[in-house]
Structure 1
Amino acid sequence: MKYRTVGLAADVMNEMGMSVVQLPGGEIQPAMKSGLIDAAEFNNPTSDSDFGMQDVSKHYHLASFHQSQECFEVTFNARKFNSLSKEQQAILEYASEAENSNFYWHNTLRYADDLIKLKDKHGVNVHRTPDSVMKDQMKAWDVVVNRISAKDPFFAKVVKSQKSYAKKVMDYLLLNQPDYGLAYKHHFG
């Protein structure tokens, strides 16, 4: 399968046996239409429908470990940021944190609205990625991480830090958070 993705996801999908084609976002829909690629991932229901993916495919898969959600990022020039007063730095830090939450709340609703449009207006069949594929994705991720970590000590350090955080936080979240699917099924069928 010729599959469009970018970044580390390209390495993971290659490891899973896909032939990865890295294309800019604006070239995805025409590449699918022409047959250059068989499948693609871009971002979310809003961005994907803005690109017209519903015009070239009536199948849409959700859930992947490589991009399960987004966050808002503000990047500052370190020299410029450090030249600001402590008060100005604090304002920028708190404003960035607030906007990240705002971004998540508003976009989650937008994505839900646009997913409904994809299904109801455009006749797109929405599927959840099977657990078997998710497990294969994690195995491929392990191979990719080990390969890159062996060559790049900073990458290895970042992965170690992420895993330490995830082990601690996810242990708590998995015990504390209820199965929201159970509540959804109870109220909405």
Structure 2
Amino acid sequence: MTSDATTTRADRRRFLKIAGLAGAGTIAMPQVSRAQTVTWKFQSTWPTKDIFHEFAGDFAKRVNEMTGGRLKLDVLAAGAVVPAFQLQDAVHAGILDGGHGVSAYWYGKNKAFSLFGTPPALGWDATNFLSWMNYGGGYDLYNDLVTNQMKLNIVGLFSGPMPCQPLGWFKKELKTADDFKGLKYRTVGLAADLKREMGAAVTILAGGEIVPALERGVIDGAEFNNPSSDAILGFSDVAKVFMLQSYHQAAESFELLFNKGKFDALSGEQKAIVKYAAEAASSDMNWKAIDRYSKDLEMLRGKGVNVIKTPEAILKAQLAAWDKVLEKLGGENAFFKKVVDSQKAWAKRTVAYELINTPPAELAYDHFFKS
């Protein structure tokens, strides 16, 4: 009896010791998880109600969910910490941990930035542009610009192919390229050089400043991006002519910026999640844009907006202006020319494939939907 009792007590002690260790491990794990939780200030360059700010939130939601909350992007609207055009500086300095915008906004620092936001109209679209970024050497050139040319403490990812952008909103219809001469017009990036080449007086404004300027007559016309954003910004309240089709921004995507020190401190798993969240959000943004932009274009028609296709004469004048802009800027900036040469080589091959492979959408549409 004594021996059995001793054995039982020893077994009990061993069990309690093991259980205690297991319990300690169970309690410690949440503490470790909490220690690894990181919250980043992630500001967009868009107003709260703009669909672009929604896209920024869609990306952040994927990161937050896939990391199980261990990395949380706290999404802020333009101006919450810094104005839209100061986003890159704030991320570089660590004032913001990350942000959502377009690289054309940094055009004033080096015009090559706009090649990664508003590249020349080479017959490609934004999906093809993103193909170049990922498989045609685009990221190598972008990282060279950021790291070596500009010495910036940032990491950038590109996500979300934008549909071709409208020519813009005007008080009266533009019928020829000469109508741009002397026109006070808002745009950004290389499109500013393009429209100046066509004779316009260009003003560069952030999204929230455009409609007030148009209303006061400070500008005569403006483009922002798409029917949904333009509707929210209130363009239809101050102008009724909305001209679609243009070569000024035919292949743009969003730029996701991160402070390099903060990004490098992430685990390999978290870095991968951020990258793949950007790719997943890219597809979702494309799907959502097709749905929302088409609905909102019909809504604008219902509000009395006159939706007009840009005349071919203006489109041809834009292409001729691109020739001059690229020649001028390429002669001034060897790196700019290097990027354009890479884009042209890619587009020459890939667009040729798309043109010969893809049947005309208009032919099929007319067959089914036009009587």
TM-score, normalised by the number of residues in structure 2: 0.48
2:334 matches 1:178 = no
2:75 matches 1:75 = no
CA RMSD of aligned residues (A): 1.6
**1:186 aligned counterpart, secondary structure:** helix
Partner of 1:7: 189
**Contiguous gaps of at least 5 residues in structure 1:** none
Q: Which moved more, 1:61-70 or 1:108-117?
A: 61-70
> How far did 1:78 drift?
3.7
1:149 to 326, 330, 344: 330
In 1, the alpha carbon distance for the partners of 2:264 and 2:335 equals 24
Aligned pairs (5 A) from 1:98-117: 98-117=280-299
Is the CA contact (8 Å cut-off) linking 1:28 and 1:40 kept in structure 2? Answer: yes
1:88-145 C-alpha deviation (Å, 9 max, x unpaired): 333222221111111111012111111010002x111111112211111111111111
Partner of 1:90: 272
In 2, the alpha carbon distance for the partners of 1:182 and 1:168 equals 25
Q: Which amino acid aligns with 2:319?
A: M
**Contiguous gaps of at least 5 residues in structure 2:** 1-182
Number of positions where the alignment pairs a residue of Structure 1 with one of Structure 2 = 188
**1:3 aligned counterpart, secondary structure:** strand
In 1, the alpha carbon distance for the partners of 2:251 and 2:289 equals 10
2:304 matches 1:126 = no
Q: Which amino acid aligns with 1:136?
A: A
> How far did 1:18 drift?
1.1
Q: Which moved more, 1:23-32 or 1:129-138?
A: 23-32
2:200 matches 1:18 = yes
Bigger share in helix? 1
In 1, the alpha carbon distance for the partners of 2:317 and 2:353 equals 25
Q: Which amino acid aligns with 1:163?
A: K
In 2, the alpha carbon distance for the partners of 1:104 and 1:66 equals 20
TM-score, normalised by the number of residues in structure 1: 0.92
In 1, the alpha carbon distance for the partners of 2:243 and 2:214 equals 16
In 2, the alpha carbon distance for the partners of 1:32 and 1:129 equals 20
In 1, the alpha carbon distance for the partners of 2:336 and 2:252 equals 21
2:223 matches 1:41 = yes
Among all aligned residue pairs of Structure 1 and Structure 2, give the percentage whose two residues are the same amino acid: 51
Bigger share in strand? 2
2:348 matches 1:167 = yes
Highest Rg: 1 or 2? 2
**2:224 aligned counterpart, secondary structure:** coil
Residues 157 and 14 of structure 1: is their aligned pair in 2 closer, same or farther, counting only changes over 3 Å?
same
Is the CA contact (8 Å cut-off) linking 1:72 and 1:103 kept in structure 2? Answer: no
2:319 matches 1:138 = yes
> How far did 1:25 drift?
1.8
In 1, the alpha carbon distance for the partners of 2:271 and 2:210 equals 39
Aligned pairs (5 A) from 1:46-57: 46-57=228-239
Is the CA contact (8 Å cut-off) linking 1:72 and 1:99 kept in structure 2? Answer: no
> How far did 1:83 drift?
4.3
